[in-house]
Amino acid sequence: MNDAFFNDFIHAQNPIYPRVINELTQGKKRTHWMWFIFPQIKGLGYSAMAQCFALENLTQAQAYLLHEVLGVRLQECAELLLLHSDKSALEIFGTPDHLKLHSSLTLFALAANKDSVFEPLLQQFFGGKYDVRTIDILEQ
């Protein structure tokens, strides 16, 4: 996998990662970091940030999960969401970031082992349903 591509994620995350952890611990996203913390499949977002941090396919998502920094951080952020079963994704992330979460969880649920944190999060926030647009893009 292209290390420079993943380095862009790390450089974007490093200065704000403690804030991300704080916001997720509190159960309320307040700043702008969704694109590079919970990335989506390419083709969903059209902003410059969405395009810059979109993942190309399942293989790239699997490499992201296995990355020694990014995979650990994604897992940590996802596990923090499990603490907020009393809130909806919309309450935590606002709109449209709750939709980005749905697509990101779908992508990583498909890329990860079946016992990953992503399936329980899909159940918790989205009734166990995958994001249809993510599936459509992956099937192309």
Give the chain's domains with CATH numbers: 3-139 (1.25.40.380)
Output the CA angle 108-23-9, nearest 5 degrees: 45
CA dihedral sign, ordered 9, 51, 133, 2: negative
Tens of pLDDT, residues 26-74: 999 999 999 999 999 999 988 999 999 999 999 999 999 999 999 999 9
Q: How many CB atoms lie within 10 A of CB 35?
A: 22
d(CA 7, CA 62): 16
Residue 124 makes CB contacts below 8 A (sequence gap 6+) with 81, 82, 85
Tens of pLDDT, residues 107-127: 999 999 888 999 999 999 999
Tens of pLDDT, residues 125-140: 999 999 999 999 999 9
d(CA 20, CA 134): 24
